[in-house]
């Protein structure tokens, strides 16, 4: 039996996927393994690079989606294709240290799923790439993160990734693990290298989508987190500005976004010794990112209402079309 299946999910990751593959091939392990690359209908050379990598490591194979289905569906496809006793989830923009697998397997003696800490964190990537601050290891809001995690294969007999979720699928799985009575944990001193290629506009878009996902998470699980409190403060500032109806009041929401940005920066990076001007510039850039995230949270209920109305209208039209 194959000891471990490493599942890489990838969408347009031609610049990074080979480094992820190399880091898996370099793992310190004695048993047989396989690498399953799930290409989620990339429009670049991601799939071709993974196919060529089989010449370097014959344990590699590629599963391709004919349409782009999103992260949840990609992870679910990888789990179905995996044959190992253990299943590792690795994103294409992650580089594992050589001892990642060995340390995770040991940790599974007392857990059902474990993960390391990605550095830098995804929501701080634009600031990292722009300003080059030293990142801090920061725990996920849940017990594990999806971009690097090792599971006992039998876990997926009781829980599964939700194929309908284009993002936030790892959060949903963490909740499912808890509800199933399965234990998951982060290994505090195990870090992995995280390297994304998003530019400014894609980063803004990603933060907006993250805000929408956070709204869905709040409604679904009814758990108040620090980001929820930040959104409430931001929303209250918008309400206050609208009530006052003065130009100066319009600065209130931006002030809250800046405060959230400063707190986020302090949590994600080591700023001791950094020039104040660079820190202030980073807070400014972070303010735009946080405004996109908070805007996504504000837009999410409207998207739900509008989407529901459109679905209802289509359904009504379909029923009407069937009448004689």
For β-strands 113-119 and 184-194, DSSP reports them as parallel
pLDDT at residue 249 in the model? 67
pLDDT at residue 168 in the model? 87
pLDDT at residue 303 in the model? 58
End-to-end alpha carbon distance in the chain = 60
State which residues of the chain have pLDDT below 50: 305-324
pLDDT at residue 318 in the model? 45
In the structure encoding, which two tokens stand for residue 184, read together? Answer: 């998951």
Determine contact, residues 29/102, Cβ cutoff 8 Å. Answer: yes
pLDDT at residue 311 in the model? 43
pLDDT at residue 158 in the model? 97
pLDDT at residue 320 in the model? 43
pTM to 2 decimal places:
0.86
* DSSP conformation class of 133: P
In the structure encoding, which two tokens stand for residue 164, read together? Answer: 């309908």
Q: What is the dihedral of CA 280, 282, 285, 286, to 10 degrees?
A: -100
Residue appearing with tokens 């044959």: 83
pLDDT digits (tens, 9 = 90+) for 94-118: 999 999 999 999 999 999 999 999 9
pLDDT at residue 295 in the model? 94
- Which residues are CB-neighbours of 202 under 8 A, at least 6 positions away? none
Determine contact, residues 88/156, Cβ cutoff 8 Å. Answer: no
């Amino acid at each position: 039996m194959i000891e471990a299946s490493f599942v890489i999910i990838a969408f347009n990751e031609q610049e990074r996927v080979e480094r992820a593959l190399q880091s898996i091939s370099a793992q310190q392990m004695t048993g047989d393994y396989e690498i399953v690359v799930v290409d989620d209908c990339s429009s670049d050379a991601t799939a071709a690079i993974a196919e060529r990598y089989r010449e370097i490591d014959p344990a590699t194979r590629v599963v391709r989606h004919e349409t782009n289905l999103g992260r949840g569906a990609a992870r679910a496809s990888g789990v179905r294709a995996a044959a190992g006793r253990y299943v590792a989830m690795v994103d294409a923009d992650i580089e594992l240290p050589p001892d990642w697998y060995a340390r995770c397997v040991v940790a599974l003696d007392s857990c059902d799923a474990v993960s390391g800490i990605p550095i830098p964190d995804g929501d701080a990537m634009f600031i990292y790439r722009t300003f080059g601050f030293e990142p801090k290891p920061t725990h996920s809001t849940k017990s594990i993160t999806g971009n690097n995690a090792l599971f006992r294969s039998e876990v997926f007999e009781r829980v599964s990734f939700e194929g309908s979720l284009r993002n936030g699928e790892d959060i949903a799985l963490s909740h499912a693990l808890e509800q199933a009575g399965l234990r998951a944990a982060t290994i505090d001193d195990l870090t992995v290298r995280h390297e994304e290629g998003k530019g400014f506009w894609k980063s803004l878009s990603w933060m907006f989508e993250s805000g929408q996902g956070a709204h869905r998470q709040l409604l679904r699980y009814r758990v108040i987190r620090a980001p929820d409190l930040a959104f409430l403060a931001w929303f209250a500032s918008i309400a206050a500005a609208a009530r006052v109806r003065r130009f100066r009041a319009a600065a209130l929401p931006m002030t809250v976004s800046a405060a959230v940005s400063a707190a986020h920066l302090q949590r994600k990076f080591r700023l001791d010794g950094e020039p104040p001007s660079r820190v202030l510039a980073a807070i400014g850039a972070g303010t735009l990112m946080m405004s996109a995230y908070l805007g996504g949270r504000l837009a999410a209920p409207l998207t739900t209402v509008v989407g529901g109305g459109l679905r209802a209208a289509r359904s009504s039209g379909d029923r009407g079309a069937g009448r004689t």
